[in-house]
Structure 1
Amino acid sequence: MKFEAQFDEAARRRIAEAVGRAEALSRGQIVPVVVEKSDPYPEVRYRGALLAAAIATAAVLALHLPVTLAELPLVQLAAGLLGAWLSMWNPVERRLAGARALDQAVRARAVRAFHENGLHRTTEGTGVLVFASLFEHEAVILGDRGIHEKMGDAGWDRAVAALVAGMRDDDPGRGFVEAIAQCGARLAEHFPRDPSARPPPNELEDAIRASRT
């Protein structure tokens, strides 16, 4: 799933505007990040090859196919190559990787993105990462120390659900806009902006960040 196909200029502009609106309500700093895939999952190719070779072997033995012992390795090799090729199809790759591996990869990539984008260096510890991984159809929202102390991980559940729903509906741009609005509302509860004070500096750029992995 390519970033360019999902986030045209208009979608990127809507997301940046959503960040601006959300940050206007509080002293928080929100950074949206999207990656096409959180991990290359190289082990999936081997699993696909081994599984296909095992199925081919079982079929030869169960159906008593006219394959000699000398020919069996060739059948297994051909099946293995087919299995490795099929494992590159997204639904098959996700299934062979397994839900736990997908979750771990997305979480690890989100933590990396949090630090890559300087969210751990905001003045009041109120940086919030809104992260989506398109291949896995998963989202993570991470708050820096200040906001995490008040909300924990569960405080972002509605925002995560909105972002995941957007990806599943093939409209991740809408998901980001809705999730960012949810984050802004929660930040406003805990870190409201003082209307009589000078607006805090915008420490981090509002635009969405994107990468292949």
Structure 2
Amino acid sequence: MTLLNNNERQQVTDAIAAVERETDAELVTVLAERADDYAYIPLLWAGLIALLLPGALLFFTAAISASTLLLIQWSVFVALALVFRLPAVTTRMIPKSVRHWRAANLARRQFLEQNLHHTRDATGMLIFVSEAERYVEIIADRGISQHVDDSEWQAIVSAFTARVRAGETRAGFLECIAACGEKLHTAVPATHERNELPNHLVVLD
């Protein structure tokens, strides 16, 4: 998984700059490799399987000593804990609802950390992506949401999510920024030149 190279990041920056020339909105894009390391998940599953293992072994093999059983149990626990720590494996073990909940929490934290709630006319807008969770969200401050209902961003989010699933994050960003720009140009047209927040892509890896 790569979080866009320098040339691709510059394309995102240029796309934001082009949109902001036509609107008072302040766009910030954030790309996260993953929303959480889910450190407890591998241990939870490994421990559960290790606890159930003795019963299964005794059911099929009665002649096994307690020390051997304990050794097998600990070996299985350690091996599974290591295997389940692999990012590709860990992600598949977590329910979609949990993954999206974690990603949504990170998106809201980023909205605050990137100072999108402190723009002059409350016209900050976050385009957030977490690749591991295949999660995309657009969060707009009240200066935008009072003109554009949140439901209007859903089609753009769905199209971007499909791009992320296909491994086309760069194209997804460019299409999303352009689509948002069309709505923002009408809803929050430019009244004066401004650039309160940086245009570069924020990468969390």
* TM-score strictly above 0.5: yes
Match of 1:162 in 2: 159
- 5, 26, 41: which one pairs with 1:8? 5
Contact 1:31 1:204 in 2 (8 A): yes
- Percent sequence identity is 27
Q: CA deviation at 1:90?
A: 2.7
**What's the offset of the Cα at 1:180?**
1.1
Q: Is 1:27 paired with 2:24?
A: yes
Matches of 1:36 and 1:94, distance apart in 2: 12
Displacement of 1:176 in angstroms is 1.0
TM-superposed deviation, 1:24: 2.3
**TM-fit CA distance, 1:14:** 1.0
Report what 1:150 is aligned to. Answer: 147
CA distance in 2, matches of 1:210, 1:65: 55
* Deviation of 1:54 (Å): 4.1
**TM-score, length-normalised on structure 1?**
0.87
Cα pair distance change 1:175/1:62, threshold 3 Å: farther
For the 8 Å contact 1:25–1:185, the answer to whether it is kept is no
TM alignment of 1:151-190, pairs within 5 A: 151-190=148-187
Given residue 203 of structure 2, which amino acid in structure 1 is its aligned partner?
Answer: A
- Residue number among 89, 98, 110 corresponding to 1:113 in the alignment: 110
Q: Which runs of 5+ in 1 are unaligned?
A: none
1:172-198 residue CA offsets vs partner (Å, 9 max, x unmatched): 11111111112112212311235xxxx
Unaligned runs of 5+ in 2: none
Q: Tell me whether 1:206 sits opposite 2:202 in the alignment.
A: no
Alpha-carbon distance between aligned partners in 2 of 1:162 and 1:108, rounded to the nearest angstrom: 21
Report the equivalent of 1:85. 82
Counterpart check, 1:132 vs 2:125: no
**What SS does the aligned partner of 1:50 have?**
helix
Deviations 1:15-74, CA, capped at 9 Å, x for gaps: 011111222222111101111121121221222212331453354134326532232121
More deviation in 153-162 or 109-118?
153-162
Q: For residues 128 and 142 of structure 1, what CA distance do their matches in structure 2 show?
A: 6
2:57 aligned partner, one-letter code: V
SS of residue in 2 equivalent to 1:71:
helix
Could you say what secondary structure the match of 2:203 adopts? strand
CA distance in 1, matches of 2:71, 2:150: 51
